[in-house]
Chain A
Amino acid sequence: MKARYLAPLGIFVLLVVLLWAGLYLNPREVPSPLIDKPAPEFTLPLLHDAGKQIARKDLLGQVTLLNVWASWCDACREEHPLLVELARSGQVPIYGLNYKDAREDALRWLNGLGNPYVASAFDEQGKVGIDYGVYGVPETYVIDREGVIRYKVIGPLTEDSLKNTVLPLIRKLQG
């Protein structure tokens, strides 16, 4: 008889544990379903040269970072120095996906802040962004030699995330 009356308390305790765990999660973050899947195919004009094209195959054969950016994006400005620094160190080639931008604005932005990208693809309509599951800018993908996406950074790169997660992963993939 007594046990039955303890049921509400028991359920409540479980609820509190769940809520407590919930305080340390981020409900707004959308994990990518493309992790460990081949990076989607794309062919886009280059940002710097509308006549030339860049495609997925150009990323193969080496571990690469694909960084989604735009000149209208404030948070991109935050992470940009880190990218420039990383490019200069030569640890990993960085490709850019210029997302829903105006060519002029994007070029001007890079001229002003530095260009860490081996090449930047110009995704004016954002269609390739959709294929990659981009929902906010900036985002960064770690792609391995065979063109499989291994990790996605949502939001700007930070010193911390670079040092503790991204760089170790890149080194592991590079073998």
Chain B
Amino acid sequence: MIPEIGHFALIIALGVALVQTILPLAGAVRGIPSWMAVARPAARAQFVFLFVAFACLTQAFAANDFSLLYVANNSHSAMPWYYRVTAVWGAHEGSLLLWAFTLSGWMVAVSFFSRNLPQEFVARVLGVMGFVSVGFLLFMLLTSNPFERLLPAAVEGRELNPLLQDFGLIVHPPMLYMGYVGFSVAFSFAIAALLGGKLDAAWARWSRPWTTVAWMFLTIGIALGSWWAYYELGWGGWWFWDPVENASFIPWLMGTALIHSLAVTEKRGGFKSWTVLLAILAFSLSLLGTFLVRSGVLTSVHAFATDPERGLFILLFLGVVVGISLALYAWRAPRVGLGGDFALVSREAMLLGNNVLLAVASASVLLGTLYPLIVDALGLGKISVGPPYFNSIFIPLMTPVIFLMGVGPVARWKQASVPELWTRLRWALMVSVVTALLLPVVMGKWSPLISLGLFMALWIISSSLKNLWDVAGRNGLSGLARGLAAIPRGYYGMLFAHLGVAAFALGVCISGGYSQEKELRMEPGQSVQMAGYNFRFDGVRDVTGPNYQAKEGVVQVSKNGKEIVVMRPQKRVHLVQRDPTTEADIEAGFLRHLYVALGEPVSGEAWSLRLYYKPFVQWIWMGTLLMFFGGLLAATDRRYRLATRRAPDYAAQTALAR
């Protein structure tokens, strides 16, 4: 009964979405206020129905209703309740429902936090979002219904893939989708502006917080995925340039370009058509990612069960949404106007440079991801494009971006002078270069790549701190506290986000350059030394979990004779899906991780083990947390919160901004 309610709720939601798309958009064209007024209540109604559908599916999982095909394929009654419930989004159909539900959440947020926006604009925004929702709901109802019945019902489920029975599944997809889907708001704002024919700085100010929040979630979503892969897959890697990973990273790069471009459009009225294009592209790339993951066009460990028919539907939807948007862009963007002038050396120019580089990086990752497909489609054979390629090109592309990250905030708007920049930044530059050259020598191994990575991190840190000093320390040390307090929150947002990038770079560089690993066969009682630590293998014993049997290894770790920790890596075999999974044990410290994974039993009581020493690897994810925090600060800057209370006066605002 309940699944039928859920199914019915989806159908009603589709109807509401159609109404939400057609009436407000038509109303905006024909100037009919009553039609436009339908947008907000329709968005809220859609949220209610999608919530009902989502709740029904969740209930089916919680109650072990194996008469639902989706539940039977992805659950098992012996699974702990928290995995049964999060298995809702563990596979294709349910994750689509999560997508649609998340979209309705964003629509509701837009419907509430848009009091100061003109009705016509809101109608267009919600109308466009409604159209996207129509696409996803149709996709679900026509090809991927999570409420499809299995008759006769299965006695027991086929269990969720053991790799997914993990905390990572609880957090990674929701955060990731909040980001992916969140870019639809910026997208809708851009389309609404193009449809209305008016694109001004006020539009940028409205778009910015929404985009920043979406970006925040995408950042943390990707970071959670990377962290999950790190501890789950058992080989100590945290990024594989897998097509599905790239599918989330490409929109992230574009989204980062977008938030920087919006800054210029808001402050100086410039880059308008470029910002609109970025907004369209960021969400289009999210949709493209959805296609890549679900169509079977690329091989990936992460890909959902693939089906060309589903792929065709998504491709069609993608073609329509993005095609119409880009056509609209080609038609309307030329009229949009120029904005203020700026010199070749100025903050605008550097931000534009940053955008171009990020767009190029985005395109390059996309090129590498799709290249095997291109070669195959042209009949030129089969090739692989993997980490060696992406690492080779990504670092040269990112280096100028990071360099600009240091110079940009220091440069003046409109016109900056190179001598002034040199004066302000030469100390930071010299410290960065010298330390980057010396540090690796001190740490025991020098290579150009390590020095480059260190330079990038140190450059961001030193130039950011110097800039902070310049801004806050105008009255010397005595006035520093007051100076710091006077700085708007948005600036701190930038500071923390940039420092996050530096922390990330530091983590990547040091863990990449100085990690040590040993893969070897060990007898119980045998010890091995690595990186100053002593690892003693104490054998393997049997352990039983809620829905699995495991072999647990015991490894004593000590340093200089003092015991530090006992590590217990496991090899688990689950009840139904009997492929063994490796659960590594990680001793996670701020400055280093010790990582131990069980290999195979060798002979007698001996096992093969993998031991890793990874210095600074934690900084990779701490960096992303800092970025998240920076985004939060930027999105909650006073001017966005105050704007909701002030009475709207668009004409004045646009005149001022020009």
Instruction: State yes or no: do A and B come from one complex.
Output: yes
Q: How far is the CB of B371 from chain A (nearest CB, A)?
A: 11
**Looking at chain B's contact residues, is the secondary structure mostly helix, strand, loop, or mixed?**
helix
Chain A, range 24-47, C-beta contacts under 8 Å to B: 24-25, 27-31
Q: Is the CB of A28 within 8 A of B299?
A: yes
Q: How far is the CB of B332 from chain A (nearest CB, A)?
A: 9
Interface size class of A (residues with CB under 8 A): 20 to 34
Contact A16-B329, Cβ < 8 Å, known A23-B311, A24-B308, A27-B297: no
- For B329, what are the chain A residues with a Cβ–Cβ distance below 8 Å? 5, 8-9
Asked whether A163 is an interface residue with its Cβ less than 8 Å from the other chain, the reply is: no
Number of B residues contacting the other chain (C-beta, 8 Å)?
A: 34
Asked whether A21 is an interface residue with its Cβ less than 8 Å from the other chain, the reply is: yes
**Looking at chain A's contact residues, is the secondary structure mostly helix, strand, loop, or mixed?**
helix
Q: How far is the CB of A116 from chain B (nearest CB, A)?
A: 31
Asked whether B334 is an interface residue with its Cβ less than 8 Å from the other chain, the reply is: yes
- For A18, what are the chain B residues with a Cβ–Cβ distance below 8 Å? 370, 373-374, 377
Chain B, range 323-360, C-beta contacts under 8 Å to A: 323, 326-327, 329-330, 333-334
How many angstroms from the CA of A2 to the CA of B327 in the assembled complex? 11
Asked whether A1 is an interface residue with its Cβ less than 8 Å from the other chain, the reply is: yes
- For B323, what are the chain A residues with a Cβ–Cβ distance below 8 Å? 9, 12-13, 16
Asked whether B298 is an interface residue with its Cβ less than 8 Å from the other chain, the reply is: yes
How many angstroms from the CA of A141 to the CA of B329 in the assembled complex? 54
How many angstroms from the CA of A104 to the CA of B299 in the assembled complex? 37
Q: How far is the CB of B8 from chain A (nearest CB, A)?
A: 32
Asked whether B302 is an interface residue with its Cβ less than 8 Å from the other chain, the reply is: no
Q: How far is the CB of A10 from chain B (nearest CB, A)?
A: 9
Q: How far is the CB of B336 from chain A (nearest CB, A)?
A: 10
Asked whether B587 is an interface residue with its Cβ less than 8 Å from the other chain, the reply is: no
Asked whether B319 is an interface residue with its Cβ less than 8 Å from the other chain, the reply is: yes
Pick the contact of B330: A6, A25, A30, A31 (CB < 8 A): A6
Chain B, range 281-328, C-beta contacts under 8 Å to A: 281, 284, 288, 291, 295-299, 308, 311-312, 315, 318-319, 322-323, 326-327
Q: How far is the CB of A15 from chain B (nearest CB, A)?
A: 8
Q: Is the CB of A25 within 8 A of B277?
A: no
Q: Is the CB of A22 within 8 A of B373?
A: yes
Asked whether A135 is an interface residue with its Cβ less than 8 Å from the other chain, the reply is: no
Q: Is the CB of A21 within 8 A of B377?
A: yes
- For B298, what are the chain A residues with a Cβ–Cβ distance below 8 Å? 22, 27
Give 1 or 0 for each of B252-286: 1 = CB within 8 Å of chain A CB: 00000000000000000000010001001100100
Q: Is the CB of B315 within 8 A of A27?
A: no
Q: Is the CB of A25 within 8 A of B373?
A: yes
Asked whether B382 is an interface residue with its Cβ less than 8 Å from the other chain, the reply is: yes
- For A15, what are the chain B residues with a Cβ–Cβ distance below 8 Å? 288
Q: Is the CB of A23 within 8 A of B315?
A: yes
- For A24, what are the chain B residues with a Cβ–Cβ distance below 8 Å? 308
Q: Is the CB of A25 within 8 A of B377?
A: yes
Q: How far is the CB of A14 from chain B (nearest CB, A)?
A: 10
Name the residue on A nearest B281 (C-beta). A8
Contact A1-B312, Cβ < 8 Å, known A9-B323, A22-B377: no
Contact A8-B277, Cβ < 8 Å, known A1-B334, A27-B298, A30-B382: yes
Asked whether B579 is an interface residue with its Cβ less than 8 Å from the other chain, the reply is: no
- For A31, what are the chain B residues with a Cβ–Cβ distance below 8 Å? 381-382
- For A13, what are the chain B residues with a Cβ–Cβ distance below 8 Å? 323
How many angstroms from the CA of A9 to the CA of B281 in the assembled complex? 11
Contact A16-B315, Cβ < 8 Å, known A2-B334, A27-B372, A27-B376: yes
Q: How far is the CB of B244 from chain A (nearest CB, A)?
A: 13
Q: How far is the CB of B408 from chain A (nearest CB, A)?
A: 26
Give 1 or 0 for each of B183-194: 1 = CB within 8 Å of chain A CB: 000000000000
Q: Is the CB of A27 within 8 A of B299?
A: yes
How many angstroms from the CA of A94 to the CA of B297 in the assembled complex? 35
- For B318, what are the chain A residues with a Cβ–Cβ distance below 8 Å? 16
Asked whether A110 is an interface residue with its Cβ less than 8 Å from the other chain, the reply is: no
Q: How far is the CB of A34 from chain B (nearest CB, A)?
A: 13
- For A9, what are the chain B residues with a Cβ–Cβ distance below 8 Å? 323, 326-327, 329-330
Given contacts A16-B323, A25-B377, could you give 18 more A-B pairs where the C-beta distance is less than 8 Å? A1-B334, A5-B273, A5-B330, A8-B281, A8-B326, A9-B326, A9-B330, A15-B288, A18-B373, A22-B295, A23-B296, A23-B311, A25-B376, A27-B296, A27-B298, A27-B373, A29-B382, A31-B381
Contacts from A to B (Cβ < 8 Å): 1-2, 5-6, 8-9, 12-13, 15-16, 18-25, 27-31
Contacts from B to A (Cβ < 8 Å): 273, 277, 280-281, 284, 288, 291, 295-299, 308, 311-312, 315, 318-319, 322-323, 326-327, 329-330, 333-334, 370, 372-374, 376-377, 381-382
